[in-house]
């Protein structure tokens, strides 16, 4: 059975209704993410970085901690872009409130192009080809995701709540009954990266666990694109039902299996 998906353009407006909740509820990336980017992508002082889909700055702040010369953060949602501008006030951060496809960028002007839990909203082939042209010689691209799931481990809370999402459109990041989530389909992602003229590193999958109470589940799921796409009343009912399942079936605490999937590559 094919699950209908959200339109690609919805990603430009899906997350900006409540930036503060998004920023507080979404989990941070594990430290291994930054270690890998330092080793594989030369993340460090003095480089010029382009970040695609910066959102509220969950990855932006960590990139800035590595002291780049410039970080140009592309964020198409004006509400998220404004949150980013006001929450991180440093001279080297330039926030560009436009879709990646529309923003004017000089060729060969970045040492690193990065995208954190956002690249699935782009058309991969043209986006990767454009990234290729934006990189300086020796530059790198790094794409990574926090995936809410892990195909190698049981997921009781997901199983207990699956029925609540029947008939809803799915995010482009989600897998289907016979397919892996976008970020966990390593063969497809590596093929796209290679076809765009890059030499990819082996993908890295970091498995970890996120523990949440009922309030945390409600806040987190409110940030999901397939939940934000619902009408307000339907959305409230869904979030209420999720919280009740946490309380009634899981004694007020649930463990969500997490996988951080990381893809790095350099131009051939």
Is residue 241 a part of any domain in this protein?
Answer: no
Predicted confidence (pLDDT) per residue in 177-186, tens digit: 678 999 999 9
Task: Say if 216 falls within a structural domain.
Answer: no
Give the pLDDT band of residue 151 (cuts 50, 70, 90).
Answer: confident
Residue 62 lies in a domain: yes
User: Helix, strand, or coil here: 210?
Assistant: strand
pLDDT band at 3 (very low <50, low <70, confident <90, very high): confident
H runs (alpha helix) in the chain: 19-25, 31-41, 60-64, 78-87, 124-134, 156-161, 186-195, 214-221, 225-228, 232-249
Q: What is the pLDDT of residue 1?
A: 54
- Residue 106 pLDDT: 97
Q: Is the pLDDT of residue 176 over 80?
A: no
Q: Is it the case that residue 231 has pLDDT exceeding 80?
A: yes
The pLDDT tens digits for 232-260 are: 999 999 999 999 999 999 999 999 999 99
> What mean pLDDT is predicted for residues 220-231?
97
pLDDT of amino acid 177: 67
Reported as a single tens digit per residue, the pLDDT across 121-134 is 999 999 999 999 99
Asked if the structure places residue 16 within a domain, the reply is: yes
Task: Answer for the pair 246, 138: CB distance below 8 angstroms, yes or no.
Answer: no
CATH of the domain at 97: 3.40.50.150
Pairwise pLDDT comparison (179 vs 164), residue with the higher score: 164
Domain extent at residue 13: 8-151+178-210+258-267
Q: Specify if 169 maps to a domain.
A: no
The dihedral through the CA atoms of 168, 171, 172, 174 has a sign that is: negative
pLDDT per position as a tens digit, 78-121 = 999 999 999 998 999 999 999 999 999 999 999 999 999 999 99
If one counts the domains in the chain, the total is 1
Answer yes or no: is 44 within a domain: yes
Assigned domain for 190 exists: yes
Domain annotation covers residue 144: yes
């Amino acid at each position: 059975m094919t699950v209908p998906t959200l339109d690609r353009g919805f990603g430009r407006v899906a997350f900006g209704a409540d930036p503060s909740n998004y920023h507080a509820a979404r989990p941070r990336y594990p430290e291994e993410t930054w270690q890998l980017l330092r080793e594989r992508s030369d993340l460090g002082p003095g480089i010029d970085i382009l970040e695609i889909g910066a959102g509220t700055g969950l990855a932006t702040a960590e990139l800035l901690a590595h002291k780049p010369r410039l970080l140009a953060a592309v964020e198409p949602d004006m509400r998220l872009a404004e949150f980013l501008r006001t929450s991180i006030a440093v001279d080297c951060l330039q926030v560009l409130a436009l879709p990646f496809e529309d923003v004017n960028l000089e060729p060969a002007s970045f040492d690193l192009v990065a995208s954190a839990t956002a690249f699935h909203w782009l058309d991969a082939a043209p986006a990767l080809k454009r990234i290729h042209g934006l990189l300086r010689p020796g530059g790198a691209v790094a794409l990574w995701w926090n995936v809410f799931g892990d195909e190698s481990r049981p997921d009781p809370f997901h199983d207990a709540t699956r029925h609540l999402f029947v008939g809803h459109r799915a995010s482009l990041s989600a897998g289907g009954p016979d397919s892996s989530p976008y970020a966990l389909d390593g063969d497809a992602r590596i093929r796209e990266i290679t076809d765009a003229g890059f030499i990819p590193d082996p993908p890295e999958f970091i498995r970890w666990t996120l523990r949440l109470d009922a309030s945390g589940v409600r806040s987190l799921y409110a940030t999901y694109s397939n939940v934000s796409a619902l009408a307000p009343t339907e959305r409230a009912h869904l979030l209420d039902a999720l919280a009740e399942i946490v309380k009634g079936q899981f004694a007020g605490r649930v463990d969500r299996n997490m996988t951080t999937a990381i893809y790095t590559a350099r131009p051939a």
